[in-house]
Structure 1
Amino acid sequence: MTPRLATLVLAVTAFAAPAFAAKGDVEAGKQKSVACQACHGADGNSIDPMYPKLAGQYADYLAHSLHGYRDGTRNNAIMAGFAATLSDQDIADLAAYYSALPSSIDDLSRHLKAK
Structure 2
Amino acid sequence: MIRGFTLTLIGAALALTATQSIAAGDPAAGAKKVATCVSCHGKDGNSVDPQYPRLAGQYADYLSQALHEYKSGKRDNAIMKGFVATLSDQDIEDISAYFHTMPTKLSGLEGHVQGD
Give the shorter-chain TM-score range.
0.7 to 0.9
Q: Please give the TM-score of this superposition, normalised by the length of structure 1.
A: 0.78
In structure 2, the residue matched to 1:9 is none
In structure 1, the residue matched to 2:53 is 52
Q: Please give the TM-score of this superposition, normalised by the length of structure 2.
A: 0.77
For structure 1, the residue ranges without an aligned partner over 5 or more in a row are 1-15
Q: Which amino acid aligns with 1:90?
A: D
For structure 2, the residue ranges without an aligned partner over 5 or more in a row are 1-13
Correspondence 1:96-111 to 2 at 5 A: 96-111=97-112
Answer yes or no: is 1:23 the counterpart of 2:24. yes
Deviation at 1:109, TM superposition (A): 2.8
What do you get for the CA RMSD once the two structures are aligned?
1.8
In structure 2, the residue matched to 1:85 is 86
Answer yes or no: is 1:70 the counterpart of 2:74. no
Aligned-partner SS, 1:91: helix
Aligned-partner SS, 1:28: helix
Deviates more, 1:32-41 or 1:19-28: 19-28
Deviation at 1:110, TM superposition (A): 4.2
Task: List 4+ stretches of structure 1 deviating above 6 A.
Answer: none
Percent identity of paired positions between Structure 1 and Structure 2: 54
Aligned length: 98
Q: Deviations over 1:11-60 (max 9, x none)?
A: xxxxx7x8465700000000001111100001100000111000000001
Q: Which amino acid aligns with 1:65?
A: A
Deviation at 1:111, TM superposition (A): 3.9
Counterpart Cα distance in 1 of 2:111 and 2:82: 38
Q: Which amino acid aligns with 2:102?
A: L
In structure 1, the residue matched to 2:43 is 42
